[in-house]
Amino acid sequence: MASVLDRIFAAKRAELEQTRRRIGLDEIRARAASSAPPRDFIGALKSHRPAIIAEIKRASPSKGDILPGLDPAGVARGYAAAGAACISVLTDPRFKGSLDDLNTVRNAVDLPLLRKDFVFDPYQVYEARAAGADCILLIAAMLSEGDLRALAALAHELGMAALVEVHDEEQFRIAERIGASLIGVNNRDLHTFVTDISVTQRLMRDYRGDALLISESGIETAADVARLDRAGARAFLIGESLLRCPTPRILLGDFLYALDYQSGFPLAPSDRSAARKAGQRLRVKICGITRVEDALAAVDAGADMLGLNFYPASPRYVEFERAREIRRLVGQRAQLVGVFVNATRAQIERYGQGVGLDLIQLHGTEPVEEFFGWQVPVIGAVRLDPDGAANRAPCWGHYVLYDAMDARLHGGTGRRVPLQWFRGRDLSHAFISGGLTPENVAEVAALRPYGVDVASGVESAPGIKDHLKLRSFIENAKSAG
């Protein structure tokens, strides 16, 4: 029975014959020769630490659509702003990709680009260069040693790099024999599509050569990258875990900052500057904003996020037009989070689009399906009782916010959460709330959550912020974080 890779290879041969009939070899060679000079793919990877090749792909044959409505240019610009070293563009039609996507990304960003496809013929190498690729992928599981050597040599002749992808020991030895400068260890078996990141650890264990080693597939968390870095990986190709988030640039920025302190290696200065625009070590969210003057005081003091409460029963409820005014005056100086309690999707979409919300926070008893399908990231609230028992599992949404349990209130309780519950947990995508004040926020920030959230702890009355407390809270949080 033919494997997944065998079936793909057969389809690729048929596709290439059709392409050759439309555009001859001489024509595609001429287009390659007249394209802009290639960028230094290997140099870009060596100049970043950690070096992430962020991927753009529309779908997976095994999992279907990844990010519906994906805009390749927009995602690429976000990746560049967040600190990616290079970008991979999947051009195979089984992944709903095309060379048009590669061209679009080439016109949008200056980062070096990998054409990720099933390359087996010199025609495709010229085709990649003509579309603006700076590197091609060569899959050892699909090609003979002679073909790998010849295609890599042609890529180098055209000024491109060649990433030789391996999955087992024999393929790794072949990559070494042909003198590959870039060796990618694919943690996914292309014959079965089973993924296991321990493949990287096994194959890199005794390697002492000069090739730059890249780990690919199945990388979901900063902890995965730290683990693979210790195994010898120098760069990481990451796609689906970024693209499952409606705003991949935010997740990539957060991911890089999490790596900075979880994996033990510092970001390069250029990466730190870029990633700071998309993610910080500790974000401060001031919730329950009801007045323009409080919003402006919060951003002046350094708040990263402002929470606007659209739950009518809350004493911190803010009217639609007031929220729009806050958006207009705050601009992009802080992200606006809309807080909703058991609202309908239509209500949330109206406020999200009308106000211009950057995130939404679901703080009620919403069913699991309500956490998916939004155009902005979702913060899912989880309430803890004094013993650490939660009202729901903290696995939904792009971020989780932990608050104190109160049967009568949805937030703003002024009660402390049990800090002992958080110790030893991965909080890289978690906000901690509940009873925070300028005096105790440092203790919480020291746990290294993604962010801290405060409402009543900086108020003189419900919905009325005390500007001195605001400033003190933000300063103490950021100093400790």
- Residues 165, 366, 370, 459: which is the catalytic one? 165
Q: Is 12 an annotated catalytic residue?
A: no
| Active-site residue flag, 116 | yes
Beta-carbon contacts of 462 under 8 Å, excluding residues fewer than 6 positions away, are 288, 315, 316, 412, 456
Is 460 assigned a catalytic role?
Answer: no
Indicate if 469 belongs to the active site: no
Active site residue 165: yes
Q: Which one from 88, 98, 186, 476 is the annotated catalytic residue?
A: 186
Q: What gap in Å lies between CA 120 and CA 447, rounded to an integer?
A: 50
State the catalytic residue, choosing from 217, 263, 456, 476. 217
In sequence order, what are the residues at sequence separation of 6 or more whose Cβ sits closer than 8 angstroms to the Cβ of residue 240?
55, 57, 60, 63, 66
Q: Residues 219, 224, 225, 231: is their CA dihedral positive or negative?
A: negative
Q: How many Å apart are CA 105 and CA 110, to the nearest integer? A: 9
Query: What single letter denotes the amino acid at residue 425?
Result: R
Q: Tokens at residue 196, please? A: 């296991």
DSSP 250-262: HHHHHHHHHHHHH
Stated as kind and residue range, the H or E segment containing 52 is strand 51-56
Structure tokens at 377: 């990231």
CA distance 232 to 182: 13
Kindly name the residue from 12, 187, 216, 263 that is annotated as catalytic: 216
For residues 259 and 67, the answer to whether their CB atoms sit within 8 Å is no
Q: Which of 12, 35, 116, 285 is catalytic?
A: 116
CA distance 323 to 438: 26
Active site includes 96?
no
Alpha helices in 109-243 (DSSP H): 122-130, 145-157, 169-177, 198-204, 222-231, 240-243
15 included as an active-site residue:
no
Buried b (16+ CB within 10 A) or exposed e, 416-440: ebbeebbeeeebbbbbbbbbbbbee
Q: One of 55, 366, 370, 459 is an active-site residue; which one?
A: 55
Neighbours of 283 (CB within 10 A): 22
Burial of 26 from C-beta contacts in 10 A (0-12 / 13-18 / 19+) = exposed
Estimate to the nearest angstrom the gap between the alpha carbon of 221 and the chain centroid. 10
| Residues identified as active-site | 55, 57, 116, 165, 186, 216-217
